[in-house]
Amino acid sequence: MKFLSPGRWRRVGAVGALSALIAVTLGAGAASAQSTPPTRDEALAAIAHARADTYTYNQAHIRSDLAIVEAYVNSTGGTTPPPAASKALSTNPTCTVLDADRVRVDWVTGSDDLSGLIGWQVSRNGTDDFGTGTWTSEGLAPAVRSWTFNSLVAEQTYTFSVIPAQVGGITRTCTASTGGGITTPPTTTPGGGTGGTGTAAATQNWGNPVWTDEFNTMAGWEAYNDPGSQHGVRKPENCVIVSGVLEARAESNRETCGMASTAHRGQLYGRWEARVKSVGSGWKTLQILWPDSDVWPRDGERDWQEHTAGSSCFEGFIHYPNHDPQVQWQVPGTGAMCPSGGTSTWHNIAVEFTSSTIKFWVDGVAGPTKQCDADLCQGGPYHPTIQVDDQGSGNGNTATLYVDYLKFYNL
């Protein structure tokens, strides 16, 4: 099942805004209420504190710090504190490409001047897999010397910056190109075994889809950020787009991917078809229709693909609404649900929900059909989610669910 995730906060440009504010304040030359002129070190410390306060937008503290700076300037005849000969970074950082969507930036200070340093910011240009443009971190601790940028677009060139939060600090940069990724899903996999190419849309004459997600970006999806989930440590960076394929990655330390559609909601009946494969062990790979209300189990849950990564057969669990303890129908992993090569090769799995029946297909071949009893086909409305879950055997194992596309058709 899906668990709600908190939002992510980002703030950009605080240091630049502060620099402009300092310039305006110093130029005004207003009288200071401070009776004893501060020392140069006190003025530097005040500027450092004001920079820190921009991260919380504490305007009262900023005004107090600027008054100290102003008093020092007035006591020295209107000249600003002289800059140090060198600042926290006298050499450029190093960019290391980790894989198709991650770059690590490392920096050293050596004998550089660290006076007044209260921390760092890191930034990048370009756009990531979530569609977020130029991005700058919040304040990092002074001891930090490395940062990994995740969820980057494969085969793209980025410029990464390290910004010292320090008077006169010099921003340094490095440039790197992310690695290449896999191509459009092939019908054969490196380990042998032929994937399926047929579709239910073709064999059942469904016509054109109402919508299609080809996973060229993460637009229209929210990746969960939920370290407390019972199904693993949900991290957005584990949901990755590589060359038009979603990779939902689960790691041996229980870090995993979960994501929900924000673009396609309000669906009760219809047809869904996805081209997928999974590799690894221990983890459950799922495609779910989750209630828009987030009220569970009252409004039901349709896990129309739920099986252990790399297993021989596709399975699923359709939860009856309004039942607590939960009652569910297990989609049997038999017949067409066990295609050649198993779930570790590419196959097209499809489901149709009507008010009276549930039907499955794999590669266009009919699988189980269930006549709806009680309120099995009620609940909702729903939206798609994609997850890799630890249901007791994920720790110490790794798995990846690959999704080439997801399509929706009207009845």
Task: Measure CA 75 to chain center.
Answer: 51
Instruction: Output the average pLDDT for the chain.
Output: 80
Based on the domain organization, do 131 and 261 belong to the same domain?
A: no
Based on the domain organization, do 19 and 145 belong to the same domain?
A: no
Least confident of 28-32, 147-151, 235-239, 395-399: 28-32
* The predicted structure's pLDDT at residue 138: 79
Give the contacts of 140 (CB within 8 A, at least 6 positions apart).
119, 120, 121, 122, 147
> Does residue 40 lie within any of the structural domains?
yes
> Does residue 2 lie within any of the structural domains?
no
Based on the domain organization, do 285 and 393 belong to the same domain?
A: yes
Is the pLDDT assigned to residue 24 strictly greater than 80?
no
Based on the domain organization, do 45 and 104 belong to the same domain?
A: no
Number of domains composing the chain: 3
Based on the domain organization, do 305 and 161 belong to the same domain?
A: no
Share of the chain above pLDDT 70, in %: 75
> Does residue 187 lie within any of the structural domains?
no
Based on the domain organization, do 312 and 367 belong to the same domain?
A: yes
Task: Measure CA 409 to chain center.
Answer: 28
C-alpha dist (Å) from residue 91 to 86, 109, 141, 162, 274: 11, 8, 20, 11, 49
Tabulate helix, strand, coil % of the chain (nearest 5): 15, 35, 50
> 98: domain CATH number?
2.60.40.10
Share of the chain above pLDDT 90, in %: 47
Phi-psi region of 369 (alpha: psi -120 to 50; beta: other; left: phi over 0): beta
> Does residue 194 lie within any of the structural domains?
no
* The predicted structure's pLDDT at residue 127: 84
pLDDT higher at 191 or 408:
408
DSSP 107: -
Based on the domain organization, do 133 and 258 belong to the same domain?
A: no
> Does residue 328 lie within any of the structural domains?
yes
Q: Specify which of 55-69, 169-183, 317-331 reaches the highest per-range mean pLDDT.
A: 317-331
> 214: domain CATH number?
2.60.120.200
Boundary-marking domain end, from 27, 48, 75:
75
Mean pLDDT in residue range 12-18: 37
Residue type for position 177: S
Boundary-marking domain end, from 177, 209, 238:
177
E runs forming strands in 129-244: 135-136, 146-149, 157-164, 172-177, 211-213, 221-223, 233-234, 239-242
Based on the domain organization, do 118 and 156 belong to the same domain?
A: yes
Query: Residue 58: pLDDT band by 50, 70, 90 thresholds?
Result: low
> Does residue 5 lie within any of the structural domains?
no
Based on the domain organization, do 250 and 218 belong to the same domain?
A: yes
Based on the domain organization, do 128 and 52 belong to the same domain?
A: no
Based on the domain organization, do 69 and 104 belong to the same domain?
A: no
> Does residue 108 lie within any of the structural domains?
yes
> Does residue 224 lie within any of the structural domains?
yes
Please give the residue range of the domain that contains residue 287.
200-409
Based on the domain organization, do 133 and 98 belong to the same domain?
A: yes
Q: Specify which of 105-109, 148-152, 191-195 reaches the highest per-range mean pLDDT.
A: 105-109
